[in-house]
Amino acid sequence: MKSKVKWGIRLAALLVVVTVVLTACGGAATTAAPAATQAPAATEAPKEMTKIKLQLQWVVQSQFAGYFAAVDQGFYKDEGLDVTILQGAVDIVPQQVLASGQADFALSWVPKALVSREQGAKIVDIAQVFQRSGTLEVSWKDSNIGKPEDWKGKKVGTWGFGNEFELTAAMVKAGLDPQKDVTIVQQPFDMSLLLNREIDAAEAMTYNEYAQVLEQKNPKTGELYKPEDLTVINFNDVGTAMLQDAVWAREDWLSDAKNQDIAKRFLRASYRGWIYCRDQFDGCVNVVLKNGPTLGKGHMTWQLNEINKLIWPSPAGIGVMDKKLWDQTVQVATSQKVITTAPDAGAYRTDLAEAAVKDLEGQGADVKGAGYTPKQVQITAGGE
């Protein structure tokens, strides 16, 4: 019977300990977790800050450097905006997060957002930040694939999930039937199939997977693969490129003049972030690395350089839509049955982007990058 009494006391003591620990942890969790949902700085808030949420397509990487730089450098704060960057994650579709009102702005590739728009999401492209496509189809030099026609009879990789349309459009343009003349292989989100030579060509982003190949050692030479070992088909050259990262907002939200002003301020600050990433290259890389402590420095440096190439030069100013490329994107999207009909004219607007560009120009900023020259980035093994 004695033990019966004892367990009761022990359990009670334990419950106390556990409660204390949990409260401590709970408190810690509340303070530690919302690192992403920064509490407004109570100390120095001269004017009312507007809370804004931006949804990214994926976790932090140089692809989104401009927005992180705008937070880091206080550009958003200068505009009276308290911006929370919602990082992407597994199963998160940015334009749906936007449409459901859980974010004020979202980044999305144009064709993917157009699909959502056709399905009823009233979202608008307000700034076409990336002026060109970053998608490549990469193969080994000895496979002799120099043009889309050469894919005939080969195993050609694609990620699927809406990433395959530039590829299939290029096949059709080259007179190939994607169903019969080539074997389309679903590739994982890395380059292992190409590296193991299980496929002849693989889809790769200039700023990510392409570098991942170059960061590998060639087992034959013991040195890193070189660009000369690879042949690259660039969809911008083929003419089936589709527009990628753009800033989207909700139509109804934008109908309020107050929100149009917020959007303009948001774009101004974001553009300043991208200009910073062009002109203060190393500083911008460090911002990315600070936000993503497990990311490889070499890989992120390469990525930022490639991202800069997708933005600059922007002939009409950063974020201002190139109508020709929009039309090309829509044409490829309809011909590939990504969407059934071309979107109406309200699918994108240039007024906000142009106004932001004009304001920055007035402040003496270089918003076009006409004289932009890319850096020469040293490839590092494993992207370290």
CB of 184 to another protein, least distance (A): 22
C-alpha separations of 65 from 24, 78, 281, 291, 304 in Å: 35, 18, 10, 10, 7
CB of 295 to another protein, least distance (A): 7
Residues that bind another protein (CB under 8 A): 3-4, 7, 10-11, 14, 18, 21-22, 25-26, 28-30, 32-37, 59-60, 86-92, 100, 102, 189-192, 195, 212, 215-216, 289, 291-299, 380, 382-384
Please check whether residue 98 is in contact with residue 55, taking contact to mean a CB–CB distance below 8 angstroms.
yes
Q: Which is nearer to another protein, 4 or 324 (CB)?
A: 4
C-alpha separations of 254 from 39, 109, 168, 263, 286 in Å: 26, 20, 35, 8, 34
CB of 61 to another protein, least distance (A): 9
Cis peptide before 178 (omega within 30 of 0): no
**Cα separation, 180 vs 64, whole angstroms:** 38
Q: Which is nearer to another protein, 44 or 384 (CB)?
A: 384
How many secondary structure helices (H) and strands (E) does the chain include? 15, 10
Name the residue with tokens 């107050």.
258
Q: Which is nearer to another protein, 87 or 335 (CB)?
A: 87
Please check whether residue 103 is in contact with residue 53, taking contact to mean a CB–CB distance below 8 angstroms.
yes
Q: In what order do the strands lie in the sheet with 81-86?
A: 81-86, 50-55, 105-108, 246-250, 123-127
Residue (of 166, 341, 187, 295) closest to 240 by Cα position: 166
CB of 25 to another protein, least distance (A): 5
Q: Which is nearer to another protein, 370 or 381 (CB)?
A: 381
CB of 190 to another protein, least distance (A): 5
Q: Which is nearer to another protein, 153 or 382 (CB)?
A: 382
| DSSP secondary structure string for all residues of 26-74 | HHHHHHHGGGTT----SSS-SSPPEEEEEE-SSSSSGGGHHHHHHHHTT
CB of 308 to another protein, least distance (A): 21
CB of 2 to another protein, least distance (A): 10
Q: Which is nearer to another protein, 216 or 280 (CB)?
A: 216
Q: Which is nearer to another protein, 92 or 232 (CB)?
A: 92
